[in-house]
Amino acid sequence: MTARVPDALDDEIAAVLGTGSLGVEIAAAGPGTSELRIYLGPSDDPDAWRARAADVFSAHDLAAATTRVSIEPVADGRWVERWQASLSPILLGTRFVVLPTEALVVPPGRDPIRLVPGMAFGTGEHATTRLCAEGVERRVAPGSRWLDLGTGTGVLAIVAARCGASRVLALDADPEAAAVAAEVVARNGAGPIVEVRAGSMEARGGESFDGIVANIQSSYFLGNAPSLAAALGKDAELLASGILEEDVAEVSSALAAAGIRVEERSFDGPWALLLARRVAT
C-alpha cells in the first residue's frame, strides 16, 4: 500500500499505520510530501487496510484526494530482511538513543529508548523530532509538568520524563497513535510519570503545564494558539516544531497574538523549532 502524506507527519503516521504490517518505507515525493510504502502480507485484507488508512488520515485532517492510497502486488525481493538489517540506533540530543530493534547495542553513554517489537518508525529520525528532543533536554526542569501534544510514539514524552519532569501528559488525536505511545511508554518504564490519552487539547481536562512540546503541522499553531496559551501556566514555555522555515514568521505572529512570545529559533535543514514563552498578563 502506498500513500502521500506531509513530510512533517510521515514518521508519526508510518509508526501508527505500519503497526501490524511487514514493514514501512518512507521516500521523498516532492516539496513537503513523503510517500509511505506499507508492505502487507498475502493474507491481509486490502479493504480493511484501506479503511484503517482512512481513519488514520482523518485523524490528521488529511483528505483522501491528497493521500492517494493505492494497493498493488509487489514481487518478493527479500526486502524485509534487507530493510531490517539497515536499521541502526538513532541518537537524540546529547543523552538519548532510540533502538528500533532488540538486536541493536546501546552506544556508550546513551540512555536507551526502546520501541515495541515490530515497530521501526516514529523513531526520531525526522529532523523535527531531533529538534524537539534537544529542546526538551535543555528546558525540562526537575519536578516540572509537561504536555506532549501530538505524541506519536511517545518518544518525546519519555525524554521529558527522564529529564526530570514529574508529570507528562501525552496526547494524540489518533487513537491508534495513542495506543502505540502507551505501549512504548510502558515498555520503557515511564508509566508512573507519563499518562497517554487519545485526543487533542480538549483532552487535557483544563490542566495547565510548565511546558508544552508540540511537534505538529504549522496549520495547528495558526488555528489553535489561544488554546495553547490557555494550557500554559505563568511564565511557561512552548517548544513548537513541525514548522518549515518559510512559515516561521506567520506562526510566530499567531503565537504572539495569543500572548506567547517567541524567544529563540533553531533549525535543522528546512525545519524550525520555536522556543516561546507565555507572556504574563
Nearest to 244 by CA among 152, 95, 127: 127
Give the whole-angstrom CA distance, residue 26 versus residue 174: 20
Report domain extents, the chain. Answer: 2-83, 127-278
Using the 8-state DSSP alphabet, how is residue 165 labeled? Answer: -
pLDDT score of 39: 83
Output the CA angle 91-94-98, nearest 5 degrees: 30
Count of CB atoms within 10 A of residue 129's CB?
A: 27
Output the CA angle 152-184-112, nearest 5 degrees: 105
Nearest to 66 by CA among 53, 78, 75: 53
**Residue 264 is placed in which grid cell?**
529563540
pLDDT score of 207: 96
State which fold the 127-278 domain adopts. Answer: Rossmann fold (3.40.50)
The pTM assigned to this predicted structure is 0.77
pLDDT score of 144: 98
Give the whole-angstrom CA distance, residue 255 versus residue 261: 7
pLDDT score of 123: 62
Whole-number Cα distances in Å, 268 to 6, 63, 243, 265, 281: 17, 28, 11, 11, 33
Give, for all 281 residues of the chain, the pLDDT tens digit: 999 999 888 887 887 787 767 677 888 888 889 999 888 877 788 898 899 899 889 888 888 888 999 998 876 666 555 555 566 788 999 999 998 877 678 999 999 999 876 554 556 678 888 999 999 999 999 999 999 999 988 999 999 999 999 999 999 988 888 998 999 999 999 999 999 999 999 999 999 999 999 998 888 999 999 999 999 998 899 999 989 899 999 999 999 999 999 999 999 988 999 999 998 76
Q: Would you call 194 exposed, middle or buried from its count of C-beta atoms within 10 A (0-12, 13-18, 19+)?
A: buried
